[in-house]
Amino acid sequence: MAVNLDKATVREKIARRAEQEIESGFYVNLGIGMPTMVANYIQPDKQVVLQSENGLLGIGRSPYEDEVDPDLINAGKETVTASVGASYCDSAESFGMIRGEHLDLAILGGMEVSETGNLANWMIPGKMIKGMGGAMDIVHGSKKVVIIMDHVNKYGEPKILKECSLPLTGKGVVNRIITDRAVIDVKEGGLELVEVGEGWTIDEIKDCTGAGLKVHEDLYETKQ
């Protein structure tokens, strides 16, 4: 059985694994919530530019207490730092970058993902929301979309499903799913398990996934 870890540790492990998806030279958008943590783990030898749809090209790590600038925030209204050479622009220009397919990678959170790569991550019916944000543009304008999330919800129900039950952000847009239990790729023929989290078995992953799951022939344990 998997080792029980506190929520903060689990989130850190997911963020560290997601960092491995980033290659030197990439332009990357990190979604609000857990994805923003990925910025803290980017290897110093990687030349990466982080883009925020609210108008900052060149996001740095999270600020220390004495570095906090309340006017310098990401799309999730969290304070950030700016890397050397960062630039600022208005929202229209920022979305021009996104819609023009200039992003190599987007790492976003998810509420549900289907076996065909459909994504639901912007609202739950009946819950108050501030707006849909930029996710719909980002998932269609990025060359690769990676979703990071818990494998099951707070009720223990699968978040990876045959069909999403929540309103969709995009259809067929997800390439890879990274959870606290596994790494799963979205293929034309369905979902493929490529990595199993430490302490989990293939059968346990299949049991907590609400869709069919093929197993990659070179399956290995996730390293974070």
- CA separation, residue 135 to residues 39, 81, 132, 138, 173 (Å): 18, 22, 7, 5, 11
End-to-end CA distance of the chain: 18
CA distance 111 to 151: 10
The whole-number pLDDT of residue 218 equals 87
Active site members: 53
- CA separation, residue 176 to residues 18, 45, 118 (Å): 10, 24, 11
Q: Which residues contact 8 (CB under 8 A, 6 or more apart)?
A: none
Of residues 118 and 219, which shows the higher confidence score? 118
The whole-number pLDDT of residue 2 equals 57
- 112, pLDDT greater than 60: yes
Contact 41, 61 (CB under 8 A): no
The whole-number average pLDDT for the span 93-106 is: 96
Residue extents of the structural domains in the chain: 7-221
In the CATH scheme, what is the code of domain 7-221? Answer: 3.40.1080.10
The whole-number pLDDT of residue 72 equals 93
CA distance 193 to 26: 25
The whole-number pLDDT of residue 223 equals 56
